[in-house]
Amino acid sequence: MSTDKDAPATATDTPFSTPRRRVSHRGKIMCLLLALFLLAGAGAAAWWYLVLRFEESTDDAYVAGNVLRIMPEVAGTVVSVEADDNDRVAAGKPLVRLDPVDARLAYEHALVALASAVRDTCRLQAELRESEATVRLREVDLRQKKDNLTRREALGRARAIGTEELRHARDAHESAAVALAASREQRNALAAVLLDTGLAEQPAVRQAAARVRDCWLALRRTTVYSPAAGQIAKRSVQAGEVVSPGTPLMTVIPLDHLWIDANFKEVQLHRLRVGQPATIRVDMYGKAVTYRGRVSGFSAGTGSAFSLLPPQNATGNWIKIVQRVPVRIDIDPADLREHPLLIGLSAVVTVDASDASGEGLAQAQRAVPEALVSQAPAVDFAPVEDVIGAVIRDNALPAAGSAAGRP
């Protein structure tokens, strides 16, 4: 009877069987890795062909916005500063108040000048009426002198009166004619000044009324208002400081209307169009926040073209440098409200240029955003017009009352 020791050895029981299995297993792994590598490469190629080749990206991008510089329109001494750096202010809120004493005195002087102009004009109107009455009186006197001369000449031909008496009648007639002509010239001179216009429309009265409006407006402008809602920055004005028109006081930044200035290389612009969607990441929030945006326009030139010292390339030692063109990217307002931004922050912008059917340059003017329209209190001249009308009525003659209405 045979035992296990006597059984012949098989090929699988040789000492070389284990390494052969290991080689076979390693080959399978290599094939699998090669397949995965080829699959990943094919996926990456497909992703590039379908998506990445239509995207243009730049990290040379920054948050931009409107910087509203607050300046006074009249000269004066600052009595109070009602907003400081980093304060949030509403549109129309007073920011700086100037001393109104000088402006109020000028306004009072203008009212006095208006009253004087009204009275002077009323005096001229009275003189015109007087001259018209004088003309009528001279006309009556001339007719009387003419009738008397006619009778005297008839008596003279009949030798009923002397030559001297006839000469006196002729002199009286000539004197009456000259007096009538002088009265008419005086009336015409006054009429040329006054013409056929009402009291409120007389040039002197209108000029004085305009001066009243100017002084009233200067008095109102002693309070400087915020033209838009935003955040205060760069406050330089101090209480007690004497300022003049054009002196920078502070700036207001409307943080609810910001955009991105993305500086793309010139070789990236051939596919970019107005209206293409964009994604924005800001270093302030990192990759956790992505803003939606849209291309709204292209700069009219490269950044270097508008620099203080534009480059001069017409030299012998010329080196070509790739230029960058600022492209404006509007930020979705909802994203901006959810994640506020600050001017000057760095950003990374990626534009989806798959749809290149839009405009290369903007062909129409966009709607004016609210941030570019001053929301300071509008000037209402109704109060000062009422004051002007009252001054005219109070200083007009009763005879000219019908013409002493509001200007």
> 256-307+318-363 in CATH: which number?
2.40.30.170
The residue count for the chain? 407
- The reply to whether 256-307+318-363 shares the fold of 68-98+221-252 is no
Cβ pair 298, 361 in contact under 8 A: yes
Task: Give the Å distances, CA to CA, from 375 to 71, 172, 206, 372, 385.
Answer: 15, 76, 31, 9, 23
Cα–Cα dist 289/334, whole Å: 13
pLDDT tens-digit map of 259-294: 999 999 998 888 899 989 999 999 999 989 999 999
HSE, CB side, 13 Å, CA atoms: give it for residue 133. Answer: 6
> 68-98+221-252 in CATH: which number?
2.40.50.100
pLDDT tens-digit map of 215-262: 999 999 999 999 999 999 999 999 999 999 999 999 999 999 999 999
Place of tokens 């017009």: 385
DSSP 235: -
pLDDT, average across residues 151-159: 77
E runs forming strands in 66-151: 68-70, 76-81, 88-89, 94-98
Of the candidates 196, 178, 175, 174, the one whose C-alpha atom is nearest the C-alpha of residue 186 is 178
pLDDT, average across residues 130-149: 87
Kindly tell me the burial class for residue 194, based on how many C-beta atoms sit within 10 Å of its own C-beta (0-12, 13-18, 19 or more): middle
For residue 405, pLDDT over 50 is answered with no
Cα–Cα dist 66/331, whole Å: 14
pLDDT for the residue 305? 79
Quick one: pLDDT band at residue 64, thresholds 50, 70, 90? very high
Cβ pair 225, 95 in contact under 8 A: yes
Lookup: tokens for 372: 């570019």
Strongest mean pLDDT among 38-47, 185-194, 357-366, 380-389: 380-389
Residues 6 or more apart whose Cβ sits within 8 Å of residue 278 = 262, 292, 293, 294, 295, 329, 349, 350, 351, 352
Cβ pair 74, 245 in contact under 8 A: yes
The amino acid that residue 286 corresponds to is: G
Cβ pair 278, 327 in contact under 8 A: no
Domain boundaries of the chain, sorted by first residue: 68-98+221-252, 102-199+380-400, 256-307+318-363
DSSP 314: -
Cα–Cα dist 93/225, whole Å: 5
Interaxial angle between packed helices 203-220 and 382-395, expressed in degrees from 0 to 180 and rounded to the nearest 10: 140
Q: Which of 69-83, 94-108, 355-369 has the lowest mean pLDDT?
A: 355-369
Torsional class of 106: left (φ above 0), alpha (ψ -120 to 50), beta (otherwise): alpha
For residue 2, pLDDT over 50 is answered with no
Cα–Cα dist 407/403, whole Å: 10
CB count in 10 Å sphere of residue 349: 26
Output helix, strand, coil percentages for the chain, rounded to the nearest 5: 45, 20, 35
Place of tokens 């379908």: 50
Cβ pair 56, 351 in contact under 8 A: yes
Of the candidates 256, 263, 276, 257, the one whose C-alpha atom is nearest the C-alpha of residue 362 is 276
Lookup: tokens for 158: 């009949």
Task: Give the Å distances, CA to CA, from 6 to 2, 3, 10, 282.
Answer: 6, 5, 12, 81
Q: Which of 115-119, 173-177, 302-306, 401-405 has the lowest mean pLDDT?
A: 401-405
Quick one: pLDDT band at residue 350, thresholds 50, 70, 90? very high
Torsional class of 234: left (φ above 0), alpha (ψ -120 to 50), beta (otherwise): left
Cβ pair 125, 199 in contact under 8 A: yes
Quick one: pLDDT band at residue 20, thresholds 50, 70, 90? low
HSE, CB side, 13 Å, CA atoms: give it for residue 87. Answer: 16
